[in-house]
């Protein structure tokens, strides 16, 4: 019987700093990079799974207390014990901004979803919003009575949430700079808060050993988990939004919230976990103790099936409780899952702005409360980049971790005889820059894969009687290795039977496929030039009509990608022309076509659903003649019919799992604006 695959394991443990580590953060997008800060006043960047430091960033004059990546993982911000914030450009490996104004240690930082702003929370009880381009504090939010532990922007960038040692969580509106709501039901310090990626839902984690879920439309408490054995240190929603992960002392649990339930739990040895992230269907957790950092992996491969099975069983038990005959022995009462009305979703599309328009009053930079000294300004200006260059695209350097899709981490090969024995932690002295982490130095073990370098025990760690080959998978003999050839192995069976293709034949074969692709692209370019001619003349409706008449989905997708960036060009005429074809796009086998169609449908619902709904509710009266109103009603009726047709097509796709299923469910929720 095959051994059961491990569900969680320690990936690595290494020395991260020359003195005690004080903070760490995982890359929010990939989960494959990590940044640490220490009492040695340095910030070190690491590739998860590898022991060598990628980059060491210096500049702080006091211990680093908090570090954070931006969403693109090309900027890092670090807050120090003195209250100073510094932002590094990882591609150029230099400081691009220094922000001063806090009067005490920084305990929470977050980048705005659009990048130009930063929020910070400090032990001085204040939350500050910074304009990074202009190096100024826009507003200081006051209201907490104790130090702040955590700050986070909402997914649409309009709110800031702050958690404090005063047992409260405060929600701030950035437009007005005022407090929206105060969540006060925790009985101990609040350590972490997270917004749901798609719904108006908030999770707050506290030292009172509970996680509470809040509805952000009504600000009411949705549910509370049963107290765990220790305070909750960090939480994270699954990217699909169906569950929440909570990290506590040596444990991790998976929760649902309506009703509250625990889907799964893991007993881990990560101690006081500092940060968690989801990557490649795995949860990555990182913790630190003194100078060491540990990274753990939890396999989430069967999580969706487990949640679906749990929900089905709960519904079945609930039905049995309801339908039990009198006198029968009823099973233990389980609260059946209740279907709640869909919540409003965050809009994550960046608002349209132009340089010619004046900046809103709320975003005008103010003079920081504590401007830096002349000497500090002089030193910082040496490393400052121009304001417009901070967020511009840069050429990737070899030291920057690759941004490709990562393969899941593999569990280590177990040694049954040495199970339970502690392994010696390799001492790695951080260096300034390790060039080209993609090509690490050749490992001394037989296995050439660098991911397995730490997973194979060294000779001195093995008990007597075990060989290194016991931990390696068996390999077939190489075809070209004469030493492996024997009477039972005929290498000619593995060689190609036909002679090798000549260079001329190879070029000819490639040219055949190239000619067909070139023909397709030439025809597509010709069609686009026709659409562009009408577009350039300002005839947007004609350009849309021409692209629709071409009956080419590729042309339509190209046009939609432009129209969705120019929302002011949309009107009811454009909607009525495009809606019949959007239904075909969301049923396409190409993911890019589905995403373009979904983006257009959500834009139409967001901008035109109120108009369509109001006109359908009040049709034109028969008395008198109002041609404009009748024409508008006919357009709205046509759009409404097509939208209902799209809605029916979506109803059969919401049960699909994975990324596309999540997109279809999000679109289905958007149709509630028509009800």
Longest Cα–Cα distance of the chain, Å, equals 101
* Distance separating alpha carbons of residues 316 and 258, to the nearest angstrom: 17
pLDDT confidence of residue 144: 93
Asked if residue 41 belongs to a domain, the reply is: yes
Buried/exposed 18-49: b ≥16 CB within 10 Å, e otherwise: eeebbbbbbbbebbbbbbbbbbbbbbbbbbbb
- Higher pLDDT among residues 646 and 63, named by residue: 63
Question: Is 597 strand, coil or helix?
Answer: helix
Asked if residue 79 belongs to a domain, the reply is: yes
pLDDT confidence of residue 125: 93
Task: Spell out the residues 6+ positions from residue 196 whose beta carbon is closer than 8 angstroms to its own.
Answer: 202, 203, 237, 241
DSSP 367: -
Boundary-marking domain end, from 261, 278, 308: 308
DSSP 390: T
Task: Spell out the residues 6+ positions from residue 386 whose beta carbon is closer than 8 angstroms to its own.
Answer: none
Listed residue (343, 340, 334) closest to 312, CA to CA:
334
pLDDT interval class at 448 (50, 70, 90) = very low
Beta bridge partners of 252: 247, 266
Boundary-marking domain end, from 308, 335, 368: 308
Domain region containing 240: 8-308
User: By the 8 A CB rule, do 450 and 50 touch?
Assistant: yes
Listed residue (227, 245, 220, 107) closest to 164, CA to CA:
107
* Distance separating alpha carbons of residues 473 and 596, to the nearest angstrom: 45
pLDDT confidence of residue 201: 94
CA torsion through residues 80, 85, 89, 92, sign? negative
Asked if residue 39 belongs to a domain, the reply is: yes
CATH of the domain at 191: 2.130.10.10
* Distance separating alpha carbons of residues 573 and 580, to the nearest angstrom: 12
Which whole number is the average pLDDT over 308-326?
Answer: 59
Split into its structural domains, the chain has a count of: 2
* Distance separating alpha carbons of residues 323 and 45, to the nearest angstrom: 59
φ, ψ of residue 501 to 5 degrees: the values are -70, 135
- Higher pLDDT among residues 313 and 164, named by residue: 164
* Distance separating alpha carbons of residues 664 and 652, to the nearest angstrom: 10
pLDDT over 70 (residue 323): no
Asked if residue 498 belongs to a domain, the reply is: no
- Higher pLDDT among residues 418 and 110, named by residue: 110
Query: Tens of pLDDT along 139-180?
Result: 999 999 999 999 999 998 899 999 999 999 999 998 888 999
Our CA dihedral for 447, 452, 456, 458, rounded to 10 degrees, sits at 70
pLDDT confidence of residue 281: 87
Listed residue (603, 580, 583) closest to 593, CA to CA:
583
State the Cα angle at 256 between 250 and 259, rounded to 5°: 130
The DSSP element (H or E) to which 9 belongs, if any, is: strand 8-15
Asked if residue 287 belongs to a domain, the reply is: yes
* Distance separating alpha carbons of residues 321 and 336, to the nearest angstrom: 10
Q: Tell me how crowded residue 519 is: count the other CB atoms within 10 A of its CB.
A: 10
The DSSP element (H or E) to which 645 belongs, if any, is: helix 627-651
Which whole number is the average pLDDT over 417-427?
Answer: 43
The DSSP element (H or E) to which 592 belongs, if any, is: helix 591-617
User: By the 8 A CB rule, do 7 and 296 touch?
Assistant: no
pLDDT confidence of residue 586: 81
Task: Spell out the residues 6+ positions from residue 236 whose beta carbon is closer than 8 angstroms to its own.
Answer: 194, 244, 245, 276, 277, 278, 283
Most confident of 160-169, 446-455, 540-549, 636-645: 160-169
**Cα 562 from chain centroid (whole Å):** 25
User: By the 8 A CB rule, do 213 and 225 touch?
Assistant: no
Asked if residue 110 belongs to a domain, the reply is: yes
Listed residue (441, 599, 454) closest to 12, CA to CA:
454
pLDDT over 60 (residue 87): yes
Asked if residue 51 belongs to a domain, the reply is: yes
User: By the 8 A CB rule, do 540 and 567 touch?
Assistant: no
pLDDT over 50 (residue 633): yes
Phi-psi region of 532 (alpha: psi -120 to 50; beta: other; left: phi over 0): alpha
Listed residue (280, 270, 283) closest to 13, CA to CA:
270
Pairing of strands 33-38, 244-248: unpaired
pLDDT over 90 (residue 253): yes
User: By the 8 A CB rule, do 76 and 69 touch?
Assistant: yes
By the 10 Å C-beta count (0-12 exposed, 13-18 middle, 19+ buried), 554 is classed as middle
Asked if residue 496 belongs to a domain, the reply is: no
Boundary-marking domain end, from 270, 286, 308: 308
Query: What percent of the chain stands above pLDDT 90?
Result: 33
pLDDT over 70 (residue 444): no
State the Cα angle at 151 between 233 and 237, rounded to 5°: 55
Overall size of the chain counted in residues: 675
The mean pLDDT value of the chain amounts to 76
Question: Is 289 strand, coil or helix?
Answer: strand
Q: DSSP assignment of 511-530, as one string?
A: HHHHHHHHHHHHHHHHHHHH
pLDDT over 60 (residue 282): yes
CA distances from 72 to 30, 90, 105, 613 (A): 9, 11, 26, 39
pLDDT confidence of residue 613: 81
């Amino acid at each position: 019987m095959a051994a059961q695959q491990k569900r969680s394991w320690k990936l690595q443990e290494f020395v991260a700093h020359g003195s005690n580590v004080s903070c760490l953060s995982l890359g929010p997008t990939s989960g494959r990079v990590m940044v640490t800060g220490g009492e040695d006043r340095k910030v070190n960047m690491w590739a998860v799974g590898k022991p060598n430091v990628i980059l060491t960033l210096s500049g702080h004059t006091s211990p680093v207390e908090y570090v954070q990546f931006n969403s693109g993982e090309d900027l890092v911000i670090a807050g120090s014990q003195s209250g100073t914030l510094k932002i590094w450009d990882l591609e150029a490996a230099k400081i691009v901004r220094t922000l001063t104004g806090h009067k005490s240690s920084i305990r929470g930082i977050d980048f705005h979803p659009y990048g130009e702003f930063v929020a910070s929370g400090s032990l001085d009880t204040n939350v500050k919003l910074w304009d990074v381009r202009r190096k100024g504090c826009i507003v200081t939010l006051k209201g907490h009575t104790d130090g702040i532990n955590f700050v986070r922007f909402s997914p649409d960038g309009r709110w800031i949430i702050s958690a404090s040692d005063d047992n409260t969580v405060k929600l701030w509106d950035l437009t007005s700079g005022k407090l929206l709501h105060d969540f006060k039901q925790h009985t101990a310090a609040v350590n972490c808060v997270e917004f749901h990626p798609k719904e108006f839902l908030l999770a707050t984690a506290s030292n009172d050993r509970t996680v509470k879920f809040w509805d952000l439309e009504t600000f009411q408490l949705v549910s509370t988990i049963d107290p765990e054995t220790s305070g909750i240190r960090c939480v994270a929603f699954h990217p699909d939004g169906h569950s929440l992960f909570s990290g506590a002392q040596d444990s991790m649990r998976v929760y649902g919230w309506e009703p509250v339930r625990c889907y799964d739990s893991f007993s881990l040895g990560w101690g006081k976990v500092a940060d968690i992230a989801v990557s490649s269907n795995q949860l990555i957790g990182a913790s630190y103790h003194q100078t060491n950092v540990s990274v753990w992996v939890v396999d989430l491969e069967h999580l969706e099936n487990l949640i679906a099975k749990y929900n089905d069983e709960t519904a079945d038990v609930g039905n049995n409780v309801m339908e039990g005959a009198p006198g029968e022995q009823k099973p233990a009462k389980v609260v059946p899952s209740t279907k709640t009305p869909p919540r409003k979703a965050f809009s994550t599309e960046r608002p349209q702005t132009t340089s010619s328009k004046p900046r809103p009053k709320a975003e005008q930079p103010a003079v920081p409360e504590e401007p830096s000294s002349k000497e500090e300004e002089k030193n910082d200006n040496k490393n400052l980049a121009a304001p417009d260059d901070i967020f511009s695209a840069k050429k990737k350097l070899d030291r920057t971790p690759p941004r490709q899709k990562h393969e899941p981490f593999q569990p280590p090969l177990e040694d049954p005889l040495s199970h339970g024995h502690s392994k010696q932690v390799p001492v790695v002295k951080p260096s300034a820059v390790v060039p080209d982490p993609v090509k690490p130095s050749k490992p001394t073990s037989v296995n050439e894969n660098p991911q397995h370098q730490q997973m194979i025990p060294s000779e001195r760690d093995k008990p007597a009687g075990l060989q290194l080959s016991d931990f390696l998978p068996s390999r077939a003999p190489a075809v070209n290795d004469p030493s492996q050839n024997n009477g039972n192995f005929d290498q000619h069976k593995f060689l190609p039977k036909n002679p090798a293709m000549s260079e001329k034949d190879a070029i000819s074969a490639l040219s055949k496929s190239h000619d067909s692709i070139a023909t397709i692209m030439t025809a597509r370019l010709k069609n686009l030039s026709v659409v562009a001619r009408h577009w350039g003349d300002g005839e947007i409706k004609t350009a849309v009509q021409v692209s629709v008449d071409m009956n080419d989905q590729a042309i339509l997708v190209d046009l939609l990608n432009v129209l969705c960036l120019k929302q002011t060009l949309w009107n009811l005429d454009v909607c009525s022309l495009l809606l019949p074809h959007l239904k075909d796009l969301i049923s396409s086998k190409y993911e890019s076509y589905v995403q373009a169609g979904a983006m257009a449908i959500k834009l139409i619902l967001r901008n035109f659903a109120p108009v369509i709904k109001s006109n359908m509710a009040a049709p034109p009266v028969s008395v008198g003649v109002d041609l404009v109103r009748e024409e508008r009603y006919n357009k709205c009726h046509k759009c409404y019919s097509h939208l209902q047709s799209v809605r029916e097509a979506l109803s059969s796709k919401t049960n699909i799992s994975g990324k596309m299923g999540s997109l279809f469910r999000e679109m289905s929720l958007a149709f509630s604006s028509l009800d």
